[in-house]
Structure 1
Amino acid sequence: MDYEMTVVRLERLDGVSVAHARRELFDAIDRSETDVQLDLAAVEWVDRLGLALLAAAHERAHRRGHHLVVQRAHPRLRRILAVTRLTRVLHLQPA
């Protein structure tokens, strides 16, 4: 059986936007029959709330038997994910 790929594009991952981003991302994970592709091309900065959201979204997808796959992450964002060790759990596509 073929499934459509689920792609979520976020522009911000900070305290101002995290509630909206959480709804959008969790809804996509809950509806998806496959891995969720998270396009972060527009996100250059993330704060602690955004990092917590990424970790929670990963866990939610994992519980459903799927992966949260981060696409097109800005180099600055990749460094933040590496420093916080989220690269150990998140699936990052090569730049």
Structure 2
Amino acid sequence: MTVSGVGVLPFEVREHASGQEVEISGRIDVRSVPDVRLLLHEVIDTGTGDVLLNLADAEIGDATGLGVLVEAFNRARRAGRRLAVVDMTDRTERLLRASRLERALVHRPAGDSASGAPTAATVAPLTA
């Protein structure tokens, strides 16, 4: 199942064998966070396996953008799932490192997505 939509931000949700991939485009800030939060809550609450978050075409605009990622990470963990950042811009990566969120969020190199759904062995923490 693939779901896509345009509210404040364009998004696409694709099903994989071991979870779901959510691709978000645009600026994630105080205006768009409520929509992003609702989307991520629905994906986390209704799916199984890893939640793969693709932010290659997204920009974290302010602290609320980082906050929604932390909230989604915690919600996924409580649901017995893992939130994995699949791809991100250099700016987003710098923000995650500066805020030390790379310790909590998990990153899977974007090149691996063509090989199918990730396994626990292919999901690795961000490194310096």
Higher strand residue share: 2
What letter matches 2:70 in structure 1?
A
Percent same amino acid at aligned positions? 37
5 Å-filtered alignment, 1:23-38, equals: 23-38=38-53
What letter matches 1:67 in structure 2?
R
Q: Distance in 1 between matches of 2:17 and 2:60?
A: 32
Say how many residue pairs are matched.
94
Map of 1:9 onto structure 2: 23
Among 76, 82, 87, the alignment partner of 1:72 is: 87
Larger radius of gyration: 2
Change in 2 beyond 3 A, CA 1:85/1:30: same
SS at structure 2 position matched to 1:54: helix
For CA contacts below 8 A with separation 6 or more, give which structure has more relative contact order.
Answer: 1
What letter matches 1:25 in structure 2?
L
Task: Give TM-score scaled by structure 1 length.
Answer: 0.89
Where in structure 1 are there 5+ consecutive unaligned residues? none
Q: Distance in 1 between matches of 2:41 and 2:60?
A: 21
CA offsets, 1:27-54, max 9 Å, x none? 0000111110111011133310011100
RMSD, aligned CA: 1.7
Q: Which moved more, 1:17-26 or 1:36-45?
A: 36-45
Deviation at 1:94, TM superposition (A): 3.2
